[in-house]
Chains A and B, each alone.
Chain A
Amino acid sequence: EAQVTQNPRYLITVTGKKLTVTCSQNMNHEYMSWYRQDPGLGLRQIYYSMNVEVTDKGDVPEGYKVSRKEKRNFPLILESPSPNQTSLYFCASSTGAYNTGELFFGEGSRLTVL
Chain B
Amino acid sequence: AQKVTQAQTEISVVEKEDVTLDCVYETRDTTYYLFWYKQPPSGELVFLIRRNSFDEQNEISGRYSWNFQKSTSSFNFTITASQVVDSAVYFCALRYILTGGGNKLTFGTGTQLKVEL
Chain A residues packing against B (C-beta within 8 Å) = 31, 33, 35, 40-45, 48, 50, 56, 58-59, 88, 90, 92, 98-105, 107-108
Q: How far is the CB of A7 from chain B (nearest CB, A)?
A: 15
Measured between beta carbons, the chain A residues less than 8 angstroms from B6 are: 42
5 additional contacts, CB 8 Å, given A43-B107, A102-B47, A103-B35? A33-B105, A48-B104, A100-B95, A102-B50, A103-B105
A42 vs B110: C-alpha distance in the bound complex, in angstroms? Answer: 6
Contact A45 B105 (CB under 8 A): yes
A88 vs B104: C-alpha distance in the bound complex, in angstroms? Answer: 20
Question: CB within 8 A of B33: which of A58, A90, A100?
Answer: A100
Contact B109 A40 (CB under 8 A): yes
**A contact face: mostly helix, strand, loop, or mixed:** strand
Q: Is B97 an interface residue (CB 8 A)?
A: yes
Contact A108 B102 (CB under 8 A): no
Q: How far is the CB of B50 from chain A (nearest CB, A)?
A: 5
Q: How far is the CB of A74 from chain B (nearest CB, A)?
A: 15
Residue in chain B with minimal CB distance to A41:
B109
Contact A43 B91 (CB under 8 A): yes
**Can you report 14 A-B residue pairs in the complex whose CB atoms are below 8 A from each other?**
A35-B107, A44-B107, A45-B104, A45-B105, A56-B102, A88-B43, A90-B45, A98-B103, A100-B52, A100-B95, A100-B103, A101-B50, A103-B37, A105-B44
